Amino acid sequence: MEAPIDNPIQPRYLQREAARRNADTLFNGRQQRLALAKQEAASQSAANDAKTIRLRALRLEKEAAALAAETARKAAIVPRPVKARS
């Protein structure tokens, strides 16, 4: 008897399965890239928020120090005595 020869043409169900696997692979790769991009965006947003909070605190501290210095300067000013006109 002759040995069976492999058929070069795949059955239709194998072609559909291969197409589905290929589509799933592409879709899952896209989903992973999208999730990574969202994670990086959230990380950058959190870093930006932290920087904003830090800079706001520094600005408020500087404004409070300037206000205290201005108040101290105004308190140190001694008003001149007013002479009555004769």
Look up residue 9 and give its DSSP letter: S
- Supply the Cα-derived Rg of the chain in whole angstroms: 38
Return the pLDDT at 67: 96
Number of alpha carbons in the 13 Å side-chain half-sphere of residue 9? 2
Confidence class for position 77, pLDDT limits 50, 70, 90: confident
Look up residue 19 and give its DSSP letter: H
Look up residue 86 and give its DSSP letter: -
Higher pLDDT, 68 or 7: 68
Q: What is the pLDDT of residues 12-69, one digit of tens each?
A: 888 888 889 999 999 999 999 999 999 999 999 999 999 999 999 999 999 999 999 9
pTM as predicted: 0.55
Higher pLDDT, 64 or 7: 64
Q: What Cα–Cα distance (Å) separates residue 2 from each residue in 5, 6, 7, 59?
A: 9, 12, 14, 89
